Structure 1
Amino acid sequence: MENKVVIRITIISFIVGLMIAVQYNTIQKPESRDTRDIWEIRQELSEEKKVHSELLNEIVSLKKIAAEYEDANIEEQGKVLQSTVDNLKKRAGLTKVVGPGVHLNIRPAEELILSGYKVEPISPDLLIRLVNEIYRYNGLYIEIDGQRIVHTTAIRDINGKTTVNSVPISNSNVDIYIITENFEQAEKLHSYLYASTFQDDFYLDNLKLTIHPAKEEITIDAYDGDLTNTYLLKSEGD
């Protein structure tokens, strides 16, 4: 009888102790609150809706290709298949592309260099930010200092030098070429980059970012490396 009383007291004490511990932990570690303002939330929502729209467009495109396969005869199916392969190779960066776009140039700010400031390599993190923003504003294809940006591209610091596809880029004169879907998108991308803080960001690193007006025709060469299944862009330490 006494053993049962002891067991019951022990169980009750354990439950009470557990409840106190949970309550104490809740007080000590309250749930983190979302401190973003309404505009930050709206911007994130807008980006998510944009991704959703792109996925829907991709689904429509794939359904269209499937319908073409079903409606075509053997000979036409071969043409549709070849067209699909060519399009995938283009999107993967395996072919040269020509189209409307924007030309950027990065070089040391002469007035700062004349004042004694040192020329530093272009920051990989800043370059990654620029590339991601270009893609976010409808840039389709990008080339940096002769290196085509593909899904396996790594932009990072190797032995103190900024590299793209493991190839060191110039410290003194880097051209970036961007191709968009149409000239209207190229003009919008130019306007966005011109109004952004990127020119100031590069200037803080003693560099001058020149954003040339949109062009009707820009050429970007094919990627000449081996494609592997890795991450899109990463900096050292990722």
Structure 2
Amino acid sequence: MKKKILTRFTAILFLIGLMAGIQYNTINEPNTRDTRDVWEVRQELSRETKLHSQLLSEIDSLDNTLDKYEAASDASPEQALRETAGELRMLAGLIETTGPGIEVLIEPSMEAVALGLDIKGISPDLLIRLVNEINRFNALHISIDGKRIVNTTAIRDINGQTTVNTKSVETPPFSIKIISNTMEDSEKLYNHLLASRILDDFYIDNMTLTVSTPKPDLVIEAYDGAIDTKYLQATEEE
């Protein structure tokens, strides 16, 4: 009887020790090793630094707007409210916007036209990649084939057709308009797109990108849909 109890006790201790060893190795040994070289780490650090700088700029801009609203509200609360609402509508893309920017024309490649190839519409993945490239250079306002990009915009495939804001994007040619904060930002975006690998991606799909030189007064139409606010809630004043 004592021998049987001792055997069970030994087995239990063995299982406990085995589980403790496995747990120790799991904690102390990472699943994957970081195999990036110094240059890749520096690039990642540069991207994070740029993101941090953009966030600081946005915070400073919001602080300035708040200070301006508080100062104006003492003299004319209604006027301050109207000005603030107008600025927010512009940032949300609900009104026509004019500013420094560039226009990108997407059209069938000359080779595809000469060979009589069937030109298909742009794929959602390729269009999303292009928008991401554009947003890397402080793009404030974008419209694709006359469809204004807002925070709730979705670029997706619907029944085999690429759509923006649930509206079909035309088969090339069509244009994309981008407004930046300054002419300098527009020039940076212009130079980046001319040297970007995404030009090759479009060429593989029998399309080309033609980037216009920056313009000081590019016009982008307003968003013509309804903004869904059903998940928004008013904050209570403390």
Shorter-chain TM-score: what band? 0.7 to 0.9
Where does structure 2 lack aligned partners over 5 or more consecutive residues? 231-238
Shift of 1:75: 3.2
Give the distance between the partners of 2:24 and 2:69, measured in 1 at CA.
62
User: Could you say if the C-alpha distance between residues 167 and 193 of structure 1 is closer, same or farther in structure 2, counting changes exceeding 3 Å?
Assistant: same
Q: Which residue of 1 aligns with 2:11?
A: 10
Give the distance between the partners of 2:161 and 2:33, measured in 1 at CA.
41
Shift of 1:24: 8.1
Q: Which residue of 2 aligns with 1:47?
A: 47
Give the distance between the partners of 2:24 and 2:52, measured in 1 at CA.
41
Q: Deviations over 1:176-209 (max 9, x none)?
A: 1111111111111100110111221101000111
Give the distance between the partners of 1:186 and 1:125, measured in 2 at CA.
24
Shift of 1:76: 3.3
Shift of 1:7: 5.4
Q: Which residue of 1 aligns with 2:213?
A: 213
Q: Deviations over 1:73-106 (max 9, x none)?
A: 5333433332222111111100100011001001
Give the distance between the partners of 2:38 and 2:229, measured in 1 at CA.
38
Alignment of 1:107-122 (within 5 A): 107-122=107-122
1:102 matches 2:102: yes
Shift of 1:38: 2.4
User: Could you say if the C-alpha distance between residues 69 and 110 of structure 1 is closer, same or farther in structure 2, counting changes exceeding 3 Å?
Assistant: closer
Shift of 1:12: 1.4
Shift of 1:21: 4.5
- Bigger drift between 59-68 and 207-216 goes to 59-68
Shift of 1:217: 1.4
CA contact under 8 A between 2:69 and 2:84: conserved in structure 1? no
Q: Deviations over 1:125-162 (max 9, x none)?
A: 11111111111111110011010011111111111111
User: Could you say if the C-alpha distance between residues 172 and 72 of structure 1 is closer, same or farther in structure 2, counting changes exceeding 3 Å?
Assistant: closer
User: Could you say if the C-alpha distance between residues 39 and 117 of structure 1 is closer, same or farther in structure 2, counting changes exceeding 3 Å?
Assistant: farther
Identity of aligned residues (%): 45
Q: Which residue of 2 aligns with 1:158?
A: 158
Give the distance between the partners of 2:143 and 2:70, measured in 1 at CA.
37
Q: Deviations over 1:35-70 (max 9, x none)?
A: 223232222222222222222222223333333344
- Bigger drift between 186-195 and 44-53 goes to 44-53
User: Could you say if the C-alpha distance between residues 229 and 54 of structure 1 is closer, same or farther in structure 2, counting changes exceeding 3 Å?
Assistant: farther
Q: Which residue of 2 aligns with 1:181?
A: 181
Q: Which residue of 2 aligns with 1:234?
A: none
Give the distance between the partners of 2:71 and 2:172, measured in 1 at CA.
55
Give the distance between the partners of 2:107 and 2:73, measured in 1 at CA.
55
Where does structure 1 lack aligned partners over 5 or more consecutive residues? 231-238
1:204 matches 2:238: no
User: Could you say if the C-alpha distance between residues 22 and 64 of structure 1 is closer, same or farther in structure 2, counting changes exceeding 3 Å?
Assistant: closer
Name the SS for the 2:84 alignment partner: helix
TM value normalised by structure 1: 0.85
Q: Which residue of 1 aligns with 2:35?
A: 35
- Bigger drift between 180-189 and 32-41 goes to 32-41
Shift of 1:5: 3.4
Count residues in correspondence: 229
Name the SS for the 1:112 alignment partner: helix
**RMSD of Structure 2 on Structure 1 (CA):** 2.6
Partner letter of residue 87 of structure 2? N
Q: Which residue of 2 aligns with 1:85?
A: 85
